[in-house]
Amino acid sequence: MTTSAVLPDRTRTQATTPPRRRRGIGALLRGARTNVVCFLISVLLFALPLFYLLLQAFRSYPDFLQHPTGLPQEWTLQNFAAAWEQGDFGRQMINSLVYSVIPTAITLVLGVFLAFPISRGYFKHSNALYTFFIFSGFLPGGLIPLFIEARTLHLYNSMPGYLVMTSLSGAGFFFFVGYIKGIPREIDEAAVLDGCGYIRFILTFIIPQMKPALATFGIFGFVASWNSLILPLVMLSDDALWPVTRGLYSFFGEHTQNWPVVAAATFIVAAPILALFILLQRYLVEGVAGGAGLGTQGVAPRQASLGEPSGGTE
């Protein structure tokens, strides 16, 4: 009888498994354990405080004083109703919606119209322009000069003025340049042959293919505008023009001791952001993956622009 015949099945399987394959399986298991540990640490650092804050929003103030930890003794929604009425968050949410949607939409459209010719190399010195815009994105915003300019141009304490100040940022330009590089140039040539105008070409061909990128930076821009506090704190003194973050800041100062109501107000402010991520989360990974890999490449050499003769022989 041979030796392999008397070996147990498990021992015989291990003996016949290649050593390289066993090492690969072991590395995979170690990587999975590392991912689980990292996930648990992230949950403890980020999710646990939010979960505790959510529990406080559903407990009464006497229950909070008696049992500040653990589950609420009596679950109640009165804190949300009180926060909504006392904080006037309805009007402030409308203001925040205006301050977030309009500047984000303008920034995205202008970013596409600027990124397309630079990514295609339709401008002279496109690389220099590209470098200039990237460098300017790392410069800090001057709050004091912006305040002086707003007072001089009568943009201070005004909703249209605040929209002007927040609608002309260059957010997303670097990302859009990288994403447009992945769109075939044959589309440009076909549009030229069909006599398609430049604006129509951008609106009907380029923008529909950039939906993941637009959704990704639309979410980032919306969240940044919704969470903005310093700029409205400086530029908007009239409480009728306050966004919801400025209102929450004032609400916190008035209800410092009543933590259940403050917790409910915090989740009221965060609810639109959570809903936005749930609705558009499928675009995030696709959009980031589409532009991040190409964004570090240089701009293509200058070629004939859309609607311009290619310069070839007739």
Q: Residues 33-72: pLDDT tens digits?
A: 787 888 788 778 888 888 888 888 998 888 888 888 878 8
Alpha carbon distance 266, 289 (integer Å): 32
Alpha carbon distance 300, 162 (integer Å): 37
pLDDT of residue 119: 85
CATH architecture of the domain formed by 78-292: Orthogonal Bundle (1.10)
* Angle between helix 89-120 and 173-180 (nearest 10): 50
pLDDT of residue 18: 55
Mention every residue, 6+ apart, whose C-beta is less than 8 A from residue 277.
219
Amino acid at 46: F
Ordered by start, the domain boundaries in the chain are 78-292
pLDDT of residue 4: 46
Alpha carbon distance 277, 122 (integer Å): 36
pLDDT of residue 11: 47
Residue reference for tokens 């929003």: 57
pLDDT of residue 192: 84
Helices (H), the chain: 3-6, 9-16, 19-42, 48-57, 61-66, 78-87, 89-120, 126-137, 143-152, 159-167, 173-180, 186-193, 198-201, 207-209, 211-226, 230-235, 244-254, 259-292
Amino acid at 103: P
pLDDT of residue 235: 92
Block mean pLDDT (10 aa), the chain, length 314: 47 51 59 78 81 88 84 87 87 93 90 86 80 77 85 92 84 78 85 86 88 83 89 91 91 83 90 82 65 49 48 38
pLDDT of residue 45: 82
Burial class (CB within 10 angstroms; exposed 0-12, middle 13-18, buried 19+) of 17: exposed
Cβ atoms of 285 and 101 closer than 8 Å: no
Cα 213 to chain centroid distance, Å, stands at: 11
Burial class (CB within 10 angstroms; exposed 0-12, middle 13-18, buried 19+) of 173: buried
DSSP class of residue 159?
A: H
pLDDT of residue 22: 56
CB atoms within 10 A of CB 120: 23
